[in-house]
Amino acid sequence: MRLVKCYFCSSTVYPGHGTMFVRNDCKEFRFCRAKCHKAFKHKRNPRKVRWTKAFRKSAGKEMAIDAVFDFEKRRHVPVKYDRNLVTNTVQAIKRIQEIRQKRERQFIKKRLDAGKVKRVEAKKKLIEQSIGLIVSPMARNKSQLVKAVTEKANRMDTEDQ
């Protein structure tokens, strides 16, 4: 069973699915659905269309370079059937999928951590700008506020001497 990638969005096209466009120079373009075929006919650039894999990779939202991707490449070399080879290949495929999922999780976590730092900095800036709106629990009663301020002033005076 030969699985091919959609020329536009890079998703998997299974046998009997999708459409194929053959240009005058005999180059074949396979598409997973009419949406991809139509976008190709309108000469849209997959790197600029937000829902494609090419956009996600170019925008840094998905891993672009990894050794695991080398295993997905097609090889046109026929291999004689060997039961041990097939079992080893199936086990290797499972292991590669596990490694790939783990690396993708790490990549996503690392990418989201940068946004977390930015959000914390924005919150700190907002608090600094509107510090006057924040009421401390001690300032609820004016008498407690006055007491706290005088105690603090007394402590500072004793420390200075």
Average pLDDT over residues 6-22: 94
Among residues 23, 19, 3, the alpha carbon closest in space to that of 11 is found at 3
CA-CA distance, 89 to 47, in Å (whole number)? Answer: 33
pLDDT of residue 117: 86
Q: Residue 141: its pLDDT value, please?
A: 64
Q: Amino acid identity of 79? A: V
What is the tens place of the pLDDT at every residue in 35-55?
999 999 999 999 999 999 889
Report the predicted TM-score, pTM, of the whole model to 2 decimal places.
0.49
